[in-house]
Amino acid sequence: MKIQDANQLSSRTMHSDICIIGAGPAGLTLAGALVPTGRDILIADSGGRRFEKEPDELNAMQTDSNFLYRNGRSNRARQTGGSAALWAGRVVPFDFHPDLDREWSELPSAIVPHFDEAFRLLNIEPDIRNDHEHQPGELYGYWANRTQRFRTMVSGTRNGNCSLFNHLTCIGEPEFDGDRLKSLVFLNQKMERIRISAGRFIFAMGGIENSRMLLLMREQIEKRLGEHFGNVGKYVMDHPRISHGRIVPKGSTSEITRYLMKVTPRGMYKTGIRNHPVHTRAYCNIMVIPGKLTRRVMRLPARSFQVSSKKLLLKEAGLLRTLASQGRLLPVLSGTDPVSSRIMRFVNNRSYSTYKMMAYCEQRPRAHNRIIIGTDTDRNAQPVARLCNHLHPEELYDIESLYRRMEKHAGILNCTFSWDPEFVNNPANYTDASHIIGGTRYSGDASRAVVDHRLSVFGIPNLYITGSSVFPTSGVENPTHLIIALSLRLAGILKEDVAKYC
Ligand SMILES: Cc1cc2nc3c(=O)[nH]c(=O)nc-3n(C[C@H](O)[C@H](O)[C@H](O)COP(=O)(O)OP(=O)(O)OC[C@H]3O[C@@H](n4cnc5c(N)ncnc54)[C@H](O)[C@@H]3O)c2cc1C
């Protein structure tokens, strides 16, 4: 992949066969899968190769919510690798539910076959799922030994037909040729306008920006989308989370250690507990309360402790066990030799005196939870997004049921569990989970959709969208594994399309 700084461009126009806007997991996965087509692929991304303050400020947004939306870099990142540049890399494959996920219609049968490849792209050997016993009512999260932070994917996609332009921000201003989108305008940091024309455009700008861009183009696209334009920005969801509840083992034989993070030769995993959903899904993780020394080390910036997944292990397993497990990763030790097995047993066999509970809930798609255009403007003088998202009483009801379930489960685990229903029922005690879902959704019911089953925007056949903004429902699973599988599905669609028409 050729990487260029858009601030150095000499020309004010560019052309490519395929223009992907956004170099996060969604855009980079798509580009990587399309490279073998030999078509010219241009990726435009607002950010630089690493964190820079200026592009990150373009994520400015207004919120209207009954739970807490954290600001800035705890929420999204504008840089190569997108928001995955910030993450700890928790990977949870989406578990489609026959009733709750009905709006996905026929999409799962086209996406699920890409799940194993999505695991591999995330640096996780899919067989890790077979390393432990799966119990009904549980949810499993996986971490690779080495977290894939997508920035590294750029160098992995070495090919002359793919170029990534940093510091190039799409601002819309579309031109059409019949029903086809012909070109869009971009700004570099010198505020120079660059018009890019392409055969196909793909929005991969993340949960907020995919919606915002369509809303900013309202004047030019509203008639083309027809009734579907009314759905743009609607049905936004997150996985609001609450950290509350203390679990104390009654003796030394508690089964609670089942829920601590486990280290295996293929990577790490953690077992969570799911609810029996009445309206919405929820799950909880049992968290270790870290000691003083661990808390101090945790405060070190992620880069100085290599990657944040290791910090997570540190929090869960303590300093000594983390160092032991990381030592195992030295190439001299394989995962199956007796020394490694002993170290692994030492790392995994641990117990603590107190635990806390962290619960995540699903938000159902509701039309009033939506992205609209706000009153402020960003540093490019473009109106910012305003995110309106409220936790619904049904969602709180299901979280409360999960806490009640946990009460019973703690007894089975030989633990006591203390919590306060009033605290759990107050939305103000929840924060976002940096999982912004919906806004440019697919739905089996086209009257509630923005894109069709080919992920193409209704009325603009050569404009496609990928990312969690397309999901019609959110489940409770972390979204990136599904985003990657969705991008692989879109790559398949585009490959067929390019073979037919180009
Ligand atoms: C702190 C944190 C922790 C997280 N932890 C996890 C986790 O453990 N597991 C998990 O599955 N998910 C996690 N997530 C969510 C995960 O990072 C996102 O789901 C994922 O990055 C979304 O991928 P994306 O490519 O769709 O969007 P993004 O990663 O947001 O990438 C979008 C890209 O588009 C670019 N862009 C935006 N607007 C424009 C524009 N107008 N013009 C040009 N370029 C533009 C941005 O610069 C960015 O690079 C976490 C997120 C955060 C913030």
Ligand 1 center from residue 309 Cα (angstroms): 17
DSSP secondary structure of 144-167: -SS---SHHHHHHT--TTEEEEES
Please report, for residues 3, 104, 215, the alpha-carbon distance to residue 225 in angstroms, rounded to integers and kept in the order given.
34, 21, 12
Q: Is the CB–ligand 1 distance for residue 480 below 6 Å? A: yes
Q: Which amino acid is at 404?
A: R
Q: Are 210 and 27 in contact (CB under 8 A)?
A: no
Instruction: Tell me 59's DSSP state.
Output: G
The closest of 395, 466, 489, 389 to 432, measured between CA atoms, is 389
118-140: pLDDT as tens digits: 999 998 999 999 988 999 999 99
52-70: pLDDT as tens digits: 989 999 999 999 999 999 8
Q: Are 13 and 489 in contact (CB under 8 A)?
A: no
Ligand 1 center from residue 331 Cα (angstroms): 32
pTM score, whole prediction: 0.94
Q: Domain 1-53+79-123+148-239+438-502: state its class.
A: alpha beta
* Average pLDDT, integer, range 195-212: 97
Closest ligand 1 atom to residue 477 Cα is 11
Query: Which residue's CA is the nearest one to ligand 1's atom 8?
Result: 90
Q: HSE on the CB side for 502, CA within 13 Å? A: 17
Q: Which amino acid is at 312?
A: L
Distance of alpha carbon 246 from alpha carbon 352, whole angstroms: 12
Note every long-range contact of 333-342, with CB atoms under 8 Å and residues 24 or more positions apart, other chains counting: 334/265, 335/264, 335/265, 335/266, 336/265, 340/265
Task: Give the angle 234-235-236 at the CA atoms, nearest 5°.
Answer: 95
Q: Is the CB–ligand 1 distance for residue 185 below 6 Å? A: no
Q: Which amino acid is at 59?
A: N
- Phi, psi for 421 (deg, rounded to 5): -55, -35
Q: Are 18 and 34 in contact (CB under 8 A)?
A: yes
Q: Are 27 and 17 in contact (CB under 8 A)?
A: no
Q: Are 44 and 170 in contact (CB under 8 A)?
A: yes
Ligand 1 center from residue 86 Cα (angstroms): 9
283-318: pLDDT as tens digits: 999 998 877 777 777 777 655 444 566 777 777 777
Query: Which residue's CA is the nearest one to ligand 1's atom 41?
Result: 170
DSSP secondary structure of 25-50: HHHHHHHHHHGGG---EEEE-SSBSS
Tokens 């609001």 -> residue: 240
3-state secondary structure 4-30: EEHHHCCCCEEEEEEEEECCCHHHHHH
Ligand 1 center from residue 66 Cα (angstroms): 23
Ligand 1 center from residue 187 Cα (angstroms): 20
Q: Which of 59, 212, 477, 480 to mutate to test the pocket of ligand 1 (most atoms within 8 A of CB)?
A: 480
Confidence of residue 446 (pLDDT cuts 50, 70, 90): very high
* Average pLDDT, integer, range 386-403: 96
Q: Which of 14, 83, 165, 285 to mutate to test the pocket of ligand 1 (most atoms within 8 A of CB)?
A: 83
